[in-house]
Chains A and B, each alone.
Chain A
Amino acid sequence: MIDFKKGEVSFGAIVATLGAILIALGIAWFMALNWHEIHSALKIVILVFFTVGAYFSGVLFRINDYEKIGGSLLVLGALLYTLSIFLIAQIFSTEASIQGIAFLLLLAWVGILFASYIFGSSFSLVIALIEFLIWISFQFFAFVEIFDGDFSIGILVIIYLLVGVGFYGLTQIHKSRGSDFAQVYRFWTAFYVLLLTYILSFQTFLVMLWPAGFSLSGGILIFLIAMFFISVILAIIGISMSVNSGKLTSNEVFGFVGLVFLYILLIALTGLFSGDISSLLGRGSLSGGLWAMWLFDNILFIFVILSVIGYGTRYKSSKIVSLAISFFALDVITRYIGFIMDFGGYLGAAMISILGGIILIAGGWGLEKWRKRLIKRTEQKTEAGYAVY
């Protein structure tokens, strides 16, 4: 007999979560189909009923010790709650602009985040953070649209960097309190760091980071300042709490702070090539500085991927390792396409493959050495009665 009891079967939880997503999709499809015969008020009642029902059954399963199945139903509740917001917006024909969608997503992730903390549900938190990622990206584009601002990828990269810093702080806060949410925030910190490094690895984006004549509109500036303070405060609190509880080494803190400053420096340096879009036109017309920066960013990307793999190994998180490997695969595919487009042949792709291979073998050797050292240290500390974080 399959036992879905607490902490025992993750396969069952995955299947149940897939089931929850399927149910939410099915209901979404029903919404998109011919619902004109049902009164709008009744449609809202139906969705609210299903939302409450999903949360209620989730709680019932949890009470009966079916923690993971209960978590999947909480995910269903979160998705149905999101659908309810979009349905109400649809019924009242609210703005279909980017800001309109961003506003709906804001309502959605705030509600789900609240529910996640009350229930202590990591499943639900993942949904909240996925919606947060979509919201923050939409909000950026909405600001561009609303304030008629120039489109700057630089601002988007800064937003992702600030979110990464904030999430790192949240990771440390939860880690110091022994909360399971630390793992979720750790994963998302890694995700944002990889995402912004990936964006910086594009030649095209480097010259578009700060377009010529770019000016920051008041709305985006206020948004950035607010985000900066929230992120930095979270990071400071988190790092202090974690260091004080002996769960964070100074090496990791210096590493993280160093990486953040490196990103700030890189983002600022791209200002040297501001609006140099003409350099992208035609083969071989790139300036030496831009070439050097692009090369450096790509080496940095590989370095960050390897660091994230190391980070995942250190915290025994297969999800973080898989995430880093996914970004590596994405990098290989992107560079492969990029080299073929830029050089019209396979020479560049062959060169980068060989170069990448050498870096990876060296990196693998370093990682293996590091892993062995880490295992040795873990064994020593375990013998001495310490916990390793």
Chain B
Amino acid sequence: MGFNFFKSEYGKLIIVIFFLLIILGGFLIYVSFPLLGTKTAILATMPVDPFDPIRGQYMIIGYEIGTVSKLSEVVVGDNVYVLLKEDSEGVSRYQSVSLKKPSEGILIRGKVKEVSGDSMFLDYGIEQYFFERNAKIPTQNITVKIKLSDFGGARIVELLQNGEPVKIEYADVNWKD
């Protein structure tokens, strides 16, 4: 019987590494896909929540476009498309919302999280921003620069304060901490 490389330990190793790299690579492409888009928007934020270290150190960001007018027949879990319009300060604000993807314009895809009265609350998948420990991040007058894919997927590029990139200051690491 001939030697079967893929049944040897090295062969198995190659199969496993290949499979795991496909998952990691696929995930990487999936999460970075919006960053490859050409459209950029700056979003106004609502007051930013304090740190919430559940999955590492991160802050929760509430967006102005997180609450929009309710669409009829919309249910929780639906995907909706929010059309944005840039104002004189360069901040993209809510213009309209629809269940169907508009053919043009700056749009962002959101998921209906809750419906209450005439409003619906949306998640865009960019409500959190991770950073390393010992970081000092300002929380006043914050806007968020994002990249958008053609399908409305969004990823955070950077945080802005008064229109300028936020400089994150890191305290010296005390290795005894």
Question: What is A's interface to B at a CB cutoff of 8 Å?
Answer: 31-36, 44, 48, 51-52, 55-56, 59, 62-63, 81, 84-86, 88-97, 100-101, 107, 110-111, 114-115, 118-119, 146-148, 219
Shortest Cβ gap from A33 to chain B (Å) = 6
A62 engages B27 (CB within 8 Å): no
B19 engages A115 (CB within 8 Å): yes
Shortest Cβ gap from A103 to chain B (Å) = 9
Determine whether B36 belongs to the interface, using a CB cutoff of 8 Å to chain A.
no
**Complex Cα spacing A57 to B8, Å:** 15
B31 engages A84 (CB within 8 Å): no
Chain B interface secondary structure, helix, strand, loop or mixed? mixed
**27 CB-based A-B contacts, threshold 8 Å:** A32-B57, A32-B132, A32-B133, A34-B132, A34-B173, A35-B132, A36-B170, A55-B16, A55-B17, A63-B9, A63-B10, A81-B20, A85-B27, A88-B31, A89-B31, A90-B55, A90-B130, A93-B129, A93-B130, A94-B128, A96-B127, A107-B23, A111-B20, A115-B16, A118-B19, A119-B16, A148-B76
**Complex Cα spacing A31 to B114, Å:** 34
**Chain A residues whose CB sits within 8 angstroms of the CB of B133 once the complex forms:** 32-34
Q: Which 9 A-B pairs have the closest CB atoms?
A: A92-B31, A148-B76, A96-B128, A34-B173, A115-B16, A90-B130, A59-B13, A118-B12, A59-B9
**Chain B residues whose CB sits within 8 angstroms of the CB of A88 once the complex forms:** 24, 27-28, 31
Q: A85-B24, A146-B77 are in contact. Are A36 and B15 (CB under 8 A)?
A: no
Q: Contact check: which of A48, A92, A97 meets B21 at CB < 8 Å?
A: A48
Shortest Cβ gap from B166 to chain A (Å) = 13
B 1-19 contacts with A by CB, 8 A? 9-10, 12-13, 15-17, 19
**Complex Cα spacing A147 to B17, Å:** 36
**Complex Cα spacing A85 to B15, Å:** 19
Determine whether B71 belongs to the interface, using a CB cutoff of 8 Å to chain A.
no
